């Protein structure tokens, strides 16, 4: 009976996380079980230390009863399946299924291994092949948005714009199983993995040796004696600190205007977007998150800003925190947006560990609007100056290369802005 109660409590914990219960996300299974054993009130769970009998309240019973079907399935499997099964793996699958059933591609379960890898990424170093992937949940296509310099992928000949098609012999990659594909591509330095890409009409398979990859999130330099240029690849790790340093260095070199390149930046932490916006703004709103219960929370900047003319360069893969920063600078810093309409991810997720095993989850908790109240989700941000890449241009340009049609137009717009000042 104790074993079944533990199983019930585990499943209830997962379900209550999905339902948004206020007390369960910080109370683990062991705490609930100890409470059930130690409680003495007749309207709370009780258990005798020398008995297999556990008494629970009617409210708790009715909550647990909704999981009776799952328990029945597990009992049938345990009794009749032709091989021994791993109960823990089944519970893990049930947890993932609870979140998947919501139908939100941004809400999902992390295995302990995947959750650890999430924070490994944030530290800026990992063992793998050295590519950044942008997964489109509408089309399912996963595109290489960046090939890290001096990485195994670069040495093998992987290009930005390649479509990740298959990892290993049988994992055909879509946005929904991208995490699994990433886990396979990672591993011990010196070992190899077969990865297949689509490039135009060609299918290319590379055997790539894994190595330690260092993630540089910010790249900066001067395009001329007045115009600075910063590429921000993602909002994570030390990106805000590095971005701040880059702005200061460019200002020292005489930059009066700054082009911020957020193309193919799929987003990241909202606080990083807030910290970067704070460089260019006095006190005010960055974005406002709106929650289901009507509560609103505004991310805010402080007084004290760096005065620079701003152009923000975006494309169809600029999403989430990229759109938060773009929308804020457009609304409040007179930034001119150049490129094509952004992705349109105007929702915010919370990431949390859910138990002592190290498993975690990501849950969509709010929708956000820009300082002027503009919604982004499934809409995106329309640029002030629209410019597409030339046909056949896969975006593989050296830093600051003005043969890049979008960067060239952003540079021209910046020169026009500086002439007016």
Return the pLDDT at 289.
97
Q: Which residues pair with 309 in a beta bridge?
A: 257
Structure tokens at 276: 């970067």
**CB neighbour list of residue 121: distance below 8 Å, 6 or more residues apart:** 215, 236, 237
Specify whether 320 is catalytic. yes
Specify whether 417 is catalytic. no
Q: In the 8-state DSSP scheme, what is residue 177?
A: G
Catalytic site residue from 95, 331, 404, 417: 331
Residues of the chain with pLDDT below 70 are 1-51, 121-124
CA 5 to chain centre: 35
Return the pLDDT at 124.
66
Rounded-to-integer distance, Cα 177 and Cα 92, Å: 16
Rounded-to-integer distance, Cα 265 and Cα 321, Å: 9
CA 10 to chain centre: 26
Set out the domains of the chain in order of their start, with CATH numbers. 2-99 (no CATH), 125-214 (2.30.42.10), 218-420 (3.90.226.10)
pTM: 0.75
Residue tagged 């560990």 (tokens) = 353
Return the pLDDT at 282.
97
Q: What is the pLDDT of residues 307-335, one digit of tens each?
A: 999 999 999 999 999 999 999 999 999 99
Return the pLDDT at 48.
53
Catalytic site residue from 242, 330, 345, 417: 345
Specify whether 345 is catalytic. yes
Rounded-to-integer distance, Cα 14 and Cα 94, Å: 9
Catalytic site residue from 320, 321, 322, 404: 320
Structure tokens at 69: 């079907």
Return the pLDDT at 31.
42
């Amino acid at each position: 009976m104790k074993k079944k109660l533990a199983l019930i409590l585990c499943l209830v914990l997962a379900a209550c996380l999905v339902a948004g219960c206020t007390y369960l996300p910080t109370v683990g299974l062991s705490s609930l079980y100890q409470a059930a054993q130690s409680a003495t009130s007749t309207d709370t769970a009780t258990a005798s230390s020398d008995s297999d009998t556990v008494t629970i309240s009617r409210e708790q019973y009715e909550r647990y009863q909704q999981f009776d079907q799952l328990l029945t399935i597990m009992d049938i499997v345990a009794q009749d399946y032709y091989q021994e099964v791993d109960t823990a793996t089944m519970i893990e699958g049930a947890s993932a299924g609870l979140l998947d059933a919501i139908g939100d591609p941004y809400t999902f379960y992390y295995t302990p291994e995947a959750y650890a890898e999430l924070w490994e990424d944030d530290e800026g170093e990992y063992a793998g092949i050295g590519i950044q992937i942008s997964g489109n949940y509408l089309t399912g296509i996963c595109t290489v948005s960046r090939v890290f310099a001096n990485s195994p992928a670069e040495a093998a000949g992987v290009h930005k714009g390649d479509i990740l098609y298959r990892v290993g012999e049988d994992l055909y990659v879509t946005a929904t199983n991208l995490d699994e594909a990433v886990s396979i591509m990672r591993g011990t330095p010196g070992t190899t993995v077969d990865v297949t890409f689509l490039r135009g009409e060609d299918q290319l398979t590379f055997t790539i040796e894994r190595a330690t990859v260092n993630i540089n999130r910010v790249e900066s330099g001067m395009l001329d004696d007045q115009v600075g240029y910063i590429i921000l690849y993602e909002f994570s790790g030390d990106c805000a600190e590095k971005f701040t340093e880059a702005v200061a260095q460019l200002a020292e070199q005489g930059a009066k205007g700054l082009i911020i390149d957020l193309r193919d930046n799929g987003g990241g932490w909202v606080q990083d977007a807030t910290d970067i916006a704070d460089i260019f703004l006095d006190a005010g709103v960055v974005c406002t998150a709106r929650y289901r219960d009507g509560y609103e929370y505004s991310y805010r900047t402080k007084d004290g800003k760096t005065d620079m003319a701003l152009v923000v360069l975006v494309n169809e893969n600029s999403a989430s925190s990229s759109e938060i920063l773009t929308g804020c600078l457009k609304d409040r810093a007179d930034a001119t947006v150049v490129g094509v309409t952004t992705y349109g991810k105007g929702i915010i997720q919370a990431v949390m560990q859910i138990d002592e095993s190290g498993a975690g989850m990501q849950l969509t908790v709010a929708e956000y609007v820009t300082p002027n109240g503009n919604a982004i989700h499934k809409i995106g941000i329309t640029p002030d100056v629209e410019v597409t890449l030339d046909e056949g241009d896969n975006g593989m340009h050296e830093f600051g290369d003005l043969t890049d049609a979008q960067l060239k137009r952003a540079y021209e717009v910046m020169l026009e802005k500086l002439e007016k000042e």
